[in-house]
Amino acid sequence: MNASNWFKFTAGIAALVSITSVFGPAVPAHAANPRFSSGSLLVERMGDGTATLSSTAAQISVLEVTTAGSLTNTIILPSGTSNPQTDSGSATSDGYLNTYGGFVSVSGYNAAAGTASVASQNAKVNSLLDSTGTVVTRTLFPTGGAAGTPPSPFSGNNYRSSIPTSGTTFYGVGTSSGSPNTGGAWYFNGSAFTQVSSTATGQPTNLRVVEIYNNQLYATSAASSGYGIFSIGSGLPTTAGNASTLLFNSSISGSASPYGFVMFSTGSQGAGVLDLAYIADDRTTAGGGLQKWTLSGTSWSNSWSLFVSGTAGSSPSTLQSGTGVGFAGIRGLAGTYDSVLGATLYATTTELSNNRLISIFDTGTTTPSTYTTLQSAGSNYVFRGVDLSPVAVPEPSTYAIAAMATLGMANLILRRRRAGDSDG
C-alpha cells in the first residue's frame, strides 16, 4: 500500500460504525466489479448516453479509472421510481463526490431521471458507499422547505457536494432559495441535520465543493461574500452557526470561479502546515483554469494558472497561461503529493458534454506545459467530481499491525492532504 493511501486505511479504523439505513433503505448499486482498487480514481458521471443533458434529472454513475486511464468499474445509482438518486444534467456546480475514511459520499436528488428542474426540489438525498461500491447508507433530506420543521437543507436550490466522516455521517454544501437561509454547510450525525455554517451578513452561504484537510472543514465559494477557499468553524464542527474565514482571494484577475481544490504540506512552513494549494477554476478568461498557490509565512501567493487545450480526442495536449479559442477550464480536482517527485493532479474539464478526465504533473521546479487525457465522458455524458478510491477498513485482527505501521510512517503521513489523505 503506498503512503498516499495509507491514511485512508488507518482513518477507516476510526470510522468503524454500525452501518444502518437512515431515513431510507440502503439500495444496492449495479457494479461491474466487486471492489475498488487502492490508488485508482473515482469520477462522478452524469447522463445515460442517450438523453441530451439539461436541467432535468440525469442518471448518476461512479466510474473507477486507473491513474493510467483504464476504466475498471462502473457503479450506476438507481434512476427509476424506486429509491432513485439523480442529479441535474446541466448544473455544473452539482455532482462533486468525495472519499474519506474508507467511504465515498455522493450528493443528489430523490427524483427519477427526467424530472424537470430537479435542482429546485427539496427532495434531496445522499448516499454513502463502502470500498466494495455498496450503498451502505441512503439519507433522505427533510422536504418541508426552508421554514419547515425540520427545515430543508438547500431549500429550493442546489445540493452540490458532500464528504463522509463515517459510514453514516457526512457534511454537505450548497445554496438555497427563500427564507430563512438554508444554504452553506450542513452536518448529518446519523439521525439529524445541523446547519454548521453561519448565515450572518457577510458569511458565505453559496458553497460549491467541500473538503477536509488536517481535520479542518473547508469549502469553496464564488459569491460576493468571498471568492476562494473558506475554513468553516474550528476542526470538524457539529454545532450550529460557525463562522467561515476566507483563506485567500483566488481572483487573480476578475472574479474567481473556484470549484474543486487540493491542499498539501510540503514541510517548508513546518511539519503538517498546509502550504501548497491547487484550485480548479472554470473560467476561460485570465486567471481561470488550474491555479497553483503557495504559502510563505502568513501570505498566500499565486504561482500560475493554466488552461487546458482542445476537446475530447484532440491533440496536442498542451497547457497555456493565456486565454484562447478551444481552451477549457477545470472543475473537478484531486491529487497526491510526493516530497521528491512533486504533485500529481487529476481534473475534469469544463465542456458541457463529453468532457475529459486528465492528469497533470507538477514537479515544482518548472511550470507544467502538457497534460494526459485519461478518459473522455462520451456523448450525452459529463464528468463532474473526481477523487481517489477509498481504502477498505481492515479486519479487527489487523488493527495492531495497522497501528504499528502508522507509527512508523508518521513523517510520510504529515506530507499528505487531510493530514494523510491524498485525494481531492
Bridge pairing between strands 216-223 and 226-232: antiparallel
The yes-or-no verdict on residue 270 having pLDDT over 60 is yes
CA 224 to centroid of chain Cα atoms: 22
Give the residue among 358, 319, 340, 367 at the shortest CA–CA distance from 68.
358
Q: Does residue 406 or residue 103 have the better pLDDT?
A: 103
- DSSP 3-state of 133: coil
In the structure, what pLDDT confidence band is assigned to residue 393 with cuts at 50, 70 and 90? low
Helix locations, 222-325, DSSP H:
none
Cβ atoms of 48 and 61 within 8 Å: the answer is no
The yes-or-no verdict on residue 169 having pLDDT over 60 is yes
The secondary structure element, H or E, covering residue 338 is strand 330-338
Angle of helix 3-14 relative to helix 399-408, nearest 10 degrees? 130
Q: How far apart (Å, rounded) are the C-alpha atoms in residues 212 and 289?
A: 22
Q: Which three cell numbers stand for residue 34?
A: 466487486
pTM: 0.88
Q: Does residue 215 or residue 33 have the better pLDDT?
A: 215
Average pLDDT value for residue range 312-335: 85
Give the residue among 71, 61, 14, 7 at the shortest CA–CA distance from 37.
71
Average pLDDT value for residue range 63-91: 98
20: Cβ contacts below 8 Å, ≥ 6 apart: 137, 168
268: Cβ contacts below 8 Å, ≥ 6 apart: 275
CATH, residue 339:
2.120.10.30
State the sign of the Cα–Cα–Cα–Cα dihedral 45, 188, 210, 180: positive
Residue type at position 41: L
Cβ atoms of 211 and 423 within 8 Å: the answer is no
The yes-or-no verdict on residue 412 having pLDDT over 50 is no
Task: For residue 414, give its domain range.
Answer: 3-420
134: Cβ contacts below 8 Å, ≥ 6 apart: 26, 28, 29
- DSSP 3-state of 88: strand
Give the lowest-confidence range in 109-113, 196-200, 281-285: 281-285
State the sign of the Cα–Cα–Cα–Cα dihedral 348, 349, 351, 356: negative
- The residue to which cell 450548497 is assigned: 174
Q: Which residues pair with 345 in a beta bridge?
A: 335, 360
Cα-Cα end-to-end distance for the chain:
19
Cβ atoms of 271 and 265 within 8 Å: the answer is yes
Give the lowest-confidence range in 27-36, 179-188, 310-319, 363-372: 27-36
Q: How far apart (Å, rounded) are the C-alpha atoms in residues 287 and 228?
A: 12
- The residue to which cell 487573480 is assigned: 252
120 DSSP assignment: G
Q: How far apart (Å, rounded) are the C-alpha atoms in residues 297 and 409?
A: 27
Q: Which residues pair with 185 in a beta bridge?
A: 173
Residue type at position 225: S
Number of domain units in the chain = 1
Q: How far apart (Å, rounded) are the C-alpha atoms in residues 98 and 324?
A: 32
Cβ atoms of 152 and 142 within 8 Å: the answer is yes
Per-residue confidence (pLDDT) for residue 35, from 0 to 100: 84
**Alpha-carbon distances, residue 75 vs 59, 119, 135, 212 (angstroms):** 11, 22, 10, 25
Supply the mean pLDDT for the chain: 88
